[in-house]
Structure 1
Amino acid sequence: MTEPDRLNKAEYAYVWLRDRIRSREYEPGHRLVLSSIAAELEVSPVPVREAIRQLEAEGLVTYERNVGARVSTLNQDAYFETMETVALLEGRATALSIPHLGPGQLAKARELNEKMEATLQDFDPQAFTELNRKFHRTLFGACPNKRLLELLYEEWDRLDYFRDSTFRFIPQRARSSVAEHFQLVGLIEAGADPTYVEQKARDHRLATSTTYRNIIESTDSPSTAHD
């Protein structure tokens, strides 16, 4: 096998494993057996080992002596820390965007939220999440502080390592989220104090995190420790 082939297979194994961890097909604590994964992917153990090392560096996998690689059970804390960071950055970026948002952008945000509202009838968490991302990008995308935006997108990427869509696990939160979106757009259209809008945008993101945390605590099950 040539070096490029090996690297391509390692990338393939990485994506394959990451998707199963993020979708919870592989639950926290699930043992990653190198030979079994390699056989399923029809590759040698070498690229699978590389993929597992990369996932370990990202915190999705932990290695235990005499046991081997397992799906990390520590992602829950990292997820909530990242959500808190996103809330702070997103709130500030939204506030700084306000002077640069025109009627067209606000109309686009409202239209996206109406599409989100429509998905509630036959709920598709993945579609809802993608619309949710577009909605928030529309509101904070005009932020003139480019470094702030870079940090925010970095934290968004970090969230993607932890779950495909939080709304898969807390679909009951979706309806409240849509209502809060309409409120945010309405506040901006009405010329509300940007500091107040920042607080509402931050509280909106934290409400999702809090709802998810409450679900985890109420079930008190190890299987909910990831995402």
Structure 2
Amino acid sequence: MSQLAPETSLGMRILLQGEQSIYNRILADIATGKLVSGDRLVTTHLASCYQTSINPVREALKQLEGEGFVTFQKNSGARVASFEYATMREVFEILQLLEPYFLSWYAGHCTPESLVCLADIQEQLRALDIRDSAGLRDLDTAFHWEMYRHHYNASALRLWKNKKLILQALHGDLPVCEKRFKATLDEHDHILYLLNAGDDESAVRALTKHVVSGGDYWSSVITDQLRALSA
């Protein structure tokens, strides 16, 4: 098993804020590569790492098994599962419903201070090395969260954070190509421009296109990887 360590990245702190369940902590360790496919998940060791009792660990592993992140094998116990394409597709479908819902509210309530914060995050993204895929994912999470965190529906926000965390676990270690890196910047710029212009409907349409484009990109990446493995 890979060494477990405290998570410090901005995006992961956002996704785990107020959500320090054992389920989320194990999923975060999968998302950040501290636990990788094939690693054994020994309940007593995990309970010691997370400073909890065995029962919450067992419950979390059962939940993660139901979502395809953990497998239970006879005589070897629980292990981190390999990637499931269907899980990623379902997550993107949920995000394509949630994110326009959040932005449609934000567009009518955003403050000048929040728009400045978005612009600051965008400048940090623009300053990244084009090869810094982890940094891109991290700041992209921060950019979206700044738009969504003001929403009144706390249950929907928790669902969004959970699905983003699942995406990190599914492809957190995959590189982002230069074309997609630049497209993300351009799409963020367009959304920010429309928000500043007060064109709420166009901003929601631009965000929807942004989320769909991200889903299409990762679907093609994973499809190519699966095709290569089966060749």
TM-score for the superposition, normalised by structure 1: 0.70
Separation in structure 2 between the aligned mates of residue 106 and residue 14 of structure 1, nearest angstrom: 33
Separation in structure 1 between the aligned mates of residue 109 and residue 75 of structure 2, nearest angstrom: 57
Query: Where in structure 2 are the equivalents of 1:1-227 lying within 5 Å?
Result: 18=27, 21-24=30-33, 26-28=35-37, 30=38, 32=40, 34=42, 38=45, 51=57, 53-58=59-64, 59=67, 60-65=69-74, 68-73=77-82, 75-121=84-130, 123-143=131-151, 146-147=152-153, 149-163=154-168, 166=171, 168-172=173-177, 173-192=180-199, 194-220=200-226
Q: Percent identity?
A: 16
Shift of 1:67: 5.4
One-letter amino acid of the counterpart of residue 55, structure 1: L
Shift of 1:20: 5.0
- The answer as to whether partners of 1:34 and 1:48 remain within 8 angstroms in 2 is no
Identify unmatched segments of 5+ residues in structure 2: 1-19
One-letter amino acid of the counterpart of residue 196, structure 1: S
Closer/same/farther in 2, CA of residues 19 and 155 from structure 1, 3 Å limit: closer
Greater Rg over alpha carbons, structure:
1
Closer/same/farther in 2, CA of residues 41 and 140 from structure 1, 3 Å limit: closer
Separation in structure 2 between the aligned mates of residue 32 and residue 200 of structure 1, nearest angstrom: 42
Question: Once superposed, what is the RMSD of the aligned Cα atoms?
Answer: 3.7
TM-score for the superposition, normalised by structure 2: 0.69
Q: Which residue of 2 is the match for residue 4 of structure 1?
A: none
- The answer as to whether partners of 1:32 and 1:68 remain within 8 angstroms in 2 is yes
Q: SS of 1:163's equivalent?
A: helix
Identify unmatched segments of 5+ residues in structure 1: 1-10
- The answer as to whether partners of 2:27 and 2:165 remain within 8 angstroms in 1 is no
Q: SS of 1:62's equivalent?
A: strand
Closer/same/farther in 2, CA of residues 168 and 205 from structure 1, 3 Å limit: farther
